[in-house]
């Protein structure tokens, strides 16, 4: 499991616990809001990382396609 996933899991579980304990008095609302902000940042980081990985995968696929094309030309000769 990646470090960021562990942190995200911990934050989600902490929010669940605080919401259960919170009740009608909303004594933990400030901490819950701060943890929700942390989840937002984690989501943005994960999105940016996924976007970068997708771009790198696309470049790798293009490179492999070109190599395959060149090898097929060599085999024909």
The per-residue pLDDT for 1 is: 54
The per-residue pLDDT for 36 is: 93
**By the 8 A CB rule, do 15 and 32 touch?**
yes
Span 21-26, average pLDDT = 78
The per-residue pLDDT for 45 is: 84
The per-residue pLDDT for 75 is: 72
Two structure tokens written together for 29 = 């609302």
Distances (CA, A) of 73 to 47, 70, 77: 39, 5, 7
Give backbone dihedrals phi and psi of 26, rounded to 5 degrees, phi first.
Answer: 55, 40
The per-residue pLDDT for 24 is: 72
What's this model's pTM, rounded to 2 decimal places? 0.57
């Amino acid at each position: 499991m990646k470090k960021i996933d562990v942190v995200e899991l911990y934050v989600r579980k902490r929010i669940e616990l605080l919401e259960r304990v919170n009740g009608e008095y909303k004594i933990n609302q400030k901490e819950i809001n701060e943890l929700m902000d942390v989840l937002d940042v984690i989501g943005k980081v994960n999105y940016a990382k996924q976007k970068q990985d997708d771009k790198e995968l696309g470049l790798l696929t293009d490179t492999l396609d070109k190599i395959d094309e060149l090898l097929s030309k060599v085999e024909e000769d």
